[in-house]
Amino acid sequence: MDRVASLRRTFDEGLTRPLDWRREELRAMRRMLAEGEGELMDALRHDLGKPAVEARLTDLSFVDAEIDVMLANLGRWARPERVAVPAVQQPGHATVVREPLGVALVISPWNYPVQLLLVPMAAAICAGNCVIGKPSEIAPRTSAAIARLAGRYLDGRAVAIVEGGVEETQALLAERFDTIFYTGNGRVGRIVMEAAAHHLTPVTLELGGKCPAIVDAEADVTVAARRIAWGKFLNAGQTCVAPDYVLAHRSVEDELVEALTRSLHDFYGEDPHRTEDYARIVNERHFDRLSGLLAATSGTVAAGGQTDRGDRYIAPTVLTGVGPDDPVMEDEIFGPILPVLAVDGVDDAVRFVRARPKPLALYVFSQNRGAVDRVLAGTSSGGAAVNCTVVHLAIPGLPFGGVGASGMGSYHGRQGFETFSHRRAVLSKPTVPDLPVQYPPYTKAKEWLLKKML
């Protein structure tokens, strides 16, 4: 592909290495977001029915905040890091130098099509790379808007957007990149990893999984319900770190379901179909998949359940009486359906989570620190949050990424800079002294001295 070859020539010429170029490109991306806000907001509304506040908060402002952190810290992150030199290697000066990897490919999903494309692209630029961004064709209006704006604001010698579907993605994956960053599902993640293996290209995979929310007997149930409902039904449940299901202590299950129902009424009114604060399912294929899960469930609809295919609308829905083998419990739901399962206690919940693939996020609600500690110590997940959901990913100092089936590698804040950098080890030694003890022939005296030194 000519575009990849062109970016590689740019990288080899050194355009992207100076910190001043990186800073200016990050500022240009920030101007792009500010001056293109209306176009991007309209596109997000068209593709996903995103409410304006959600679109600004979770897509545009999120990117702004990450760029601010990069601009404030780039000089410090890029500074060579001195490390100690053992006495036997003295005199000498050892440093770790962060180098850009080269030409990066970022493949993004459709659910947060601005944030999940531009944050890793910004991290790649911050680290001094050339980068190609591949937005999702499933959010076509947003993909086109980003392509137009990027062509207007960003340096086309080093940054490119490639639109298209499966064919274009496959063509990109056939090329040699220096790193690939993919956000999406595990099935495509395996395809990306297989393609990268042909060139021994390192990959970062931001995948998903069924993120549990555990509600202990000693939780503040009202607050737990409100925060679970917000995290789950944000973007109509199309969020990789949304609570996928709830494990509630039997003693608070009914109270929690009632509180979830009240929260939905408080958030979206009597008829969520009519509010402007609730998003839509991205397309008919995903609508049919989700409505099929509802039709096949053995559980009871405690709240919601209404659907409208013509408007790609599925009401925020709470299910009870769901079994662990129910179809809705097999794969990540990625939609506005929340199963609530009863457990006998924290230890029962831990066993349930441990028996399944490691999730991208885990949430625990309890006022009992001992119970919280048992959950955190007994489980593994990409990230975790106590008495809240979703918002941990907005802390730039926390690395965001998965573990096991939920992904590999991480980004956000400094971790994004590190992901797109090579940590090069550099040792510098003077030519004097040049002790003969290290060179052959190894006499008994040299052997004795080396043994003492080592």
DSSP 418-435: HHTEEEEEEEE--SS---
Q: Which among 123, 157, 145, 192 is positioned nearest to 46, based on CA atoms?
A: 145
Q: Return all residues near 400 (Cβ < 8 A) that are at least 6 apart.
A: 206, 382, 383, 393, 410, 411, 412, 415
Distance CA 399, CA 300 (A): 38
Q: What is the dihedral of CA 346, 352, 357, 361, to 10 degrees?
A: -30
* Catalytic residue from among 66, 175, 206, 332: 206
- What is the DSSP code (8-state) at residue 378? H
Estimate to the nearest angstrom the gap between the alpha carbon of 337 and the chain centroid: 22
Q: Is 403 helix (H, G, I), strand (E, B) or coil?
A: coil
Q: Angle at which helices 19-35 and 140-153 pack, to 10 degrees?
A: 130
Q: Which among 178, 172, 46 is positioned nearest to 113, based on CA atoms?
A: 46
Structure-block tokens of residue 402: 């998965």
Q: Is 240 a catalytic residue?
A: yes
CB burial readout 116-154, b (16+ within 10 A) else e = bbbbbbbbbbbbbbbbbbbbbebbbbbbbbbbebbeebb
* Catalytic residue from among 66, 240, 253, 332: 240
Distance CA 291, CA 411 (A): 34
Q: Burial, 305: exposed, middle or buried (Cβ in 10 Å; 0-12, 13-18, 19+)?
A: middle
Q: Is 215 helix (H, G, I), strand (E, B) or coil?
A: strand
Distance CA 55, CA 34 (A): 13
Q: Which helix (H) or strand (E) holds 213?
A: strand 212-215
Q: Is 206 a catalytic residue?
A: yes
Q: Which residues are tagged catalytic?
A: 206, 240
